[in-house]
C-alpha cells in the first residue's frame, strides 16, 4: 500500500473513534437516563439489520459461527460491559482502563497472529494511555472492583474482536458492509434479552431522544463500525487500536466546547501526548507490496541479441521452474 493510500485509510478509520467520542454528549443531553442496555440495543440491532437489508448478503458455512463470535466480542459483550463500567466508575477512570486496549492488542497479536510486538508500538501504547490519563482522570474515592473488572473485560473483549477480525479477514466477495451488519445483528440479538430482563419495556421517547437515537444508529454505529472494520482489514490491528485514544480526546473537547467544561494545562499536555502517540503509531517503514512479483534469478529471462534465437530454458521440477517460449527477434 502506498503512503498516500495508507494515510487515506488511516484518516477514514480515525473517523470511527472520533464519532464514538460524541456518544457521551448525545447520551447525557438527549437520551433517557438510566437506560444503558436499551441504548446499547438500539445502537446495535437496528444498525445491523439496516446494513443487512442494504447489502443483502448472509454468512455461509463457518462464517455463521465466526460472525457470532465477532459480534459477541465487538458488540454483544463490549456494549453491556462498557455501560456497566460507566455506571459504576467515574467516566475518567473507565476511559483510563480502556486506554490499555492497544497494549492488549499487541499481546493478542503475538499470541494469535504470531506478530512480535515492536518496541515503537509498545512505547506508543504506553504514552497514549498516559496521555488519556492526564486528560480524563479525576480524584476519586475507593475503587469499585466490579466496575474496574467490567471496564477491563470490555477492553479485552474489543481487543480480542479486533485481532480475530484481522486474523479471519472477510469471505471472498464480501465487503465491510456485510461483515459489519453480521456482527451488529449478532451482538444486538445477544443484548436484547438482557435489556428487556434488566430494564423492562422501552421508555417513551421525545423528539430529542428520537433524534439522538437516530444519530447513534446511523452515524455513531452503522457508519462508524463500517469504517472501523474496513480499516482493520487494511491496517494492522495495533495501528487501528492506537486510534482509540481519539475517542476520549473528542469527548473532552466536546465537553469543553458544548458543556462548559474546563481544560487545564495538565489536560492539554495529556492531549498532546495522546495525539502524538496516536500519530506515531501510524508511522510505518515502507515495505514491499506482497502482491507485486519480485525479480529473482528464477524469473529473470536472458535478452536475445539481434539475429539470435535463444533456446527454450531447461524444464526442471522446482516450484519456480516452468517452460517458457523461445524469444525471437
Please report whether residue 88 resides in a domain: yes
pLDDT at res. 294: 37
Give the three cell numbers for residue 136. Answer: 480524563
Please report whether residue 153 resides in a domain: yes
Q: Are 184 and 51 in contact (CB under 8 A)?
A: yes
What distance, in Å, lies between the first and last C-alpha atoms of the chain? 37
pLDDT at res. 286: 46
CA 34 to chain centre: 27
pLDDT at res. 304: 42
How many domains, in total, are found in the chain? 1
Please report whether residue 260 resides in a domain: yes
Please report whether residue 31 resides in a domain: yes
DSSP string, 188-225: HHHHHHHHHHHH-SPPP--HHHHHHHHHIIIIIIIIHH
Print pLDDT tens along the chain (329 aa).
677 888 888 899 999 989 988 887 888 789 888 888 998 999 999 999 999 999 889 999 999 999 999 999 999 999 888 877 777 766 566 677 777 888 888 899 889 888 888 888 888 888 888 888 887 766 455 567 887 888 889 889 999 999 999 899 888 889 899 999 999 999 999 999 999 999 999 998 999 999 999 999 999 999 999 999 999 888 888 888 888 888 888 888 887 888 777 778 888 888 888 888 888 888 765 443 333 333 333 344 444 444 444 444 444 444 444 443 333 33
Listed in sequence order, the residues at least 6 apart from 241 whose beta carbon sits closer than 8 Å to its beta carbon are: 101, 102, 105, 159, 162
Rounded to an integer, what distance in angstroms lies between the CA atom of residue 44 and that of residue 186? Answer: 9
pLDDT at res. 51: 94
Q: Which residues of 16-52 are buried (b: 16+ CB within 10 A; e: fewer)?
A: bbbbbbbbbbbbeebbbeebbbbbbbbbbbbbbbbbb
Please report whether residue 84 resides in a domain: yes
Rounded to an integer, what distance in angstroms lies between the CA atom of residue 97 and that of residue 135? Answer: 13
pLDDT at res. 185: 96
Please report whether residue 72 resides in a domain: yes
Please report whether residue 328 resides in a domain: no
Give the three cell numbers for residue 304. Answer: 536475445
Q: Are 120 and 284 in contact (CB under 8 A)?
A: no
Please report whether residue 188 resides in a domain: yes
Q: Which domain holds residue 41?
A: 3-280
Amino acid at each position: 500500500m502506498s503512503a498516500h493510500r495508507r494515510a487515506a485509510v488511516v484518516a477514514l478509520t480515525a473517523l470511527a473513534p472520533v464519532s464514538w467520542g460524541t456518544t457521551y454528549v448525545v447520551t447525557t443531553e438527549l437520551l433517557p437516563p438510566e437506560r444503558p442496555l436499551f441504548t446499547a440495543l438500539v445502537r446495535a440491532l437496528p444498525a445491523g439489520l439496516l446494513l443487512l437489508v442494504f447489502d443483502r448478503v448472509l454468512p455461509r458455512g463457518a462464517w455463521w459461527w465466526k460472525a457470532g463470535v465477532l459480534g459477541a466480542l465487538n458488540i454483544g459483550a463490549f456494549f453491556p460491559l462498557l455501560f456497566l463500567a460507566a455506571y459504576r466508575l467515574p467516566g475518567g477512570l473507565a476511559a483510563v482502563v480502556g486506554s490499555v486496549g492497544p497494549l492488549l492488542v499487541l499481546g493478542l497479536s503475538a499470541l494469535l497472529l504470531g506478530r512480535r510486538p515492536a518496541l515503537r508500538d509498545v512505547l506508543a501504547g504506553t504514552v497514549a494511555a498516559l496521555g488519556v490519563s492526564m486528560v480524563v482522570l479525576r480524584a476519586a474515592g475507593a475503587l469499585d472492583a466490579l466496575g474496574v473488572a467490567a471496564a477491563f473485560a470490555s477492553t479485552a473483549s474489543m481487543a480480542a474482536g479486533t485481532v480475530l477480525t484481522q486474523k479471519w479477514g472477510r469471505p471472498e466477495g464480501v465487503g465491510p458492509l456485510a461483515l459489519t451488519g453480521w456482527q451488529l445483528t449478532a451482538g444486538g440479538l445477544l443484548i436484547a434479552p438482557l435489556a428487556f430482563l434488566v430494564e423492562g419495556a422501552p421508555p417513551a421517547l421525545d423528539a430529542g431522544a428520537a433524534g439522538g437515537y437516530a444519530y447513534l444508529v446511523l452515524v455513531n454505529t452503522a457508519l462508524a463500525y463500517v469504517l472501523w472494520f474496513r480499516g482493520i482489514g487494511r491496517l494492522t490491528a495495533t495501528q487501528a487500536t492506537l486510534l482509540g485514544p481519539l475517542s476520549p480526546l473528542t469527548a473532552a473537547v466536546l465537553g469543553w466546547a458544548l458543556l462548559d467544561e474546563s481544560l487545564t494545562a495538565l489536560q492539554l499536555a495529556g492531549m498532546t501526548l495522546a495525539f502524538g502517540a496516536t500519530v506515531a503509531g501510524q508511522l510505518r517503514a515502507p515495505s514491499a507490496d506482497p502482491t507485486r512479483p519480485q525479480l529473482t534469478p528464477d524469473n529473470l529471462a536472458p535478452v536475445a541479441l539481434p539475429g539470435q534465437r535463444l533456446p527454450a530454458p531447461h524444464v526442471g521440477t522446482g516450484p519456480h521452474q516452468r517452460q517458457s517460449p523461445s524469444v525471437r527477434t
